[in-house]
Structure 1
Amino acid sequence: FEDLGTEGYAPINNRPCSLEEIKLALKKLAKIHAISFQMAQTDNHELATFDKTFINTIDIANFPVLRDGIKLMKEVISDQPDLRKYLPHFERAELFLIPKVLDLLNAPKNGKHSRIQVLNHGDFHVKNLMVKYVDNKLKELILLDYQVSMFGSPAIDLHYAFTMMYSPSMRMENMDELLYYYTKNFQDTLHSVQYKGHIPTITELRAEMRDYRHWGLYLVSTLLCFNYAFMEGIGMNEIVESEDARRALLTNSKILDELRILLPRFLYLGCFEE
């Protein structure tokens, strides 16, 4: 980080990412995904050995921060008269969500390949970006920390970005635009290296997002509070270690207002159905 700092790079602290920053991050992610997609079409690669992330290599039962997202969400919506109608849906999802998520993350090594296979970053959130500005203009962005890169559906990273990188307004207003922007850069990268095979379409990328919808629900239930903590300058350790801190964030009026929009969307997309 110090070396990058001397080159003019800085982390994004105490604020949401701008749309310009998100697009540059997605462009770089799309290039990584596209090249690894190309590599995965040959037999002389070892991408499939990247099969471990921070969720599928531990016993989640021993990590309350990863285990209790649905429980906290149930508590929070129970106190909101207009959100209580979603309580039965969360109660049903609580019975299957974590096993379903582990199934999705372990799919490649269990021989259940999705239509599109790429090397995911695995921890694609705002704190793993550094940006370089010159004369108040964004010149460059670097993706950091590839410790849990994982071979599988690109929906793993894309749902993660939705929860952990996008600003609240982007989740509300720019989701379709950003998925299309990512897809276009994915396709353009494959064209630029003269890839001759089938190039995934936006329809196929949307199908991946749908198939991994339970991953998306898990992330919002478990990690959305981290996104808000990052914007407000609250330390990650405090959120990881303190259920009270996570509960306080989830009862923030801004998160509640966002849930009023997200929860109907999840219901209509079938996220609460096994």
Structure 2
Amino acid sequence: MPELEGHKKEMFADSYLFKSEIGMYSTVLPEFERVLRQADTKLHGERIFHSLEPRQVMIFEDLVEIGYFVVRDRAPTFEEIRRAYLKLAKCHAVSMKILNENPDFLKEYTLGLFGLCAMMEDPIMASGMAPFIELLGKVPEFNKYKPYFEKIKGNYLQRVRDIMEEHRENPRPDGYYVLSHFHEQ
């Protein structure tokens, strides 16, 4: 949970997100790790400590020591992007396997960001399409994409929510559902 007062702390203060995070790192990811270990794959760094009270906090091992790094002041290389997507694909594959074999295991992790009223009403989300479309018009190589985004600007947020919440609100028998766990720095 963000320590500093401000937009992020306000938006997530009364949400289920931090409790879900602790469950992800203490229950879900260790099970994913167990499955992936059979394929000689390490998924994540270890969680060292977590608490909900008196403060919401999680402490992890130093990921730099196990080969991770933050890309700063440059675009990621093709190889860095490939490795990130490979980890993501493995995580999604394991979640699909677990969902098919034991759907109850992930039942308490069905709520996502787009189920939060605060996210749907957030000014960045609710009014972010107009500046994005404007940016597309200012960059010559992106200008060709502008008509596609202009076409969806009126209902994109609801469409994103419908897609992200489909598994919970309107599951399709032929749908492919995976656990998506996302962080933004």
The TM-score with structure 1 as length reference comes to: 0.38
- Spell out, residue by residue over 1:135-161, the C-alpha distance to the aligned partner (whole angstroms, 9 max, x if none): xxxxxxxxxxxxxxxxxxxxxxxxxxx
Relative contact order, higher structure (CA 8 A, sep 6+): 1
Alignment partner of 1:22 is 2:44: no
Question: Would you identify which runs of 4 or more consecutive aligned residues in structure 1 move more than 6 Å?
Answer: 80-86
Unaligned segments of structure 1, at least 5 residues: 128-274
2:175 is aligned to: 115
Partner deviation per Cα, 1:189-247 (whole Å, 9 max, x = no partner): xxxxxxxxxxxxxxxxxxxxxxxxxxxxxxxxxxxxxxxxxxxxxxxxxxxxxxxxxxx
Number of aligned positions between the proteins: 125
Change (3 A) 1:111 1:49: farther
Quick one: structure 1 residues 4 and 115, their matched pair in 2 at CA, closer, same or farther if it must change by over 3 Å? same
**Using a 3 Å threshold, how does the CA distance of structure 1 residues 14 and 2 change in structure 2: closer, same or farther?**
farther
Give the secondary-structure state (helix, strand or coil) at the position aligned to 2:69.
strand
Q: Match for residue 145 of structure 1?
A: none
Secondary structure of the structure 2 residue equivalent to 1:76: helix
Task: Specify the code of the residue in structure 2 equivalent to 1:102.
Answer: R
* TM-superposed deviation, 1:44: 5.2
Letter in structure 1 aligned against 2:62? D
Residues 56 and 102 in structure 1, CA contact (< 8 A), matched pair in contact too: yes
Query: In the TM superposition, what are the counterparts of 1:1-274 in structure 2 within 5 Å?
Result: 3-7=62-66, 9-43=68-102, 45-60=104-119, 62-77=121-136, 89-113=148-172, 115-123=175-183, 127=185
Q: Given residue 104 of structure 2, which amino acid in structure 1 is its aligned partner?
A: H
Q: TM-score, normalised by structure 2?
A: 0.53
How big is the shift at 1:62?
Answer: 3.6
Is the Cα–Cα contact under 8 Å of residues 33 and 120 in structure 1 kept in the other structure? yes
User: Could you tell me the percent identity over the aligned residues?
Assistant: 26
Report the aligned-residue RMSD: 3.2
Gap regions ≥5 residues in structure 2 = 1-59
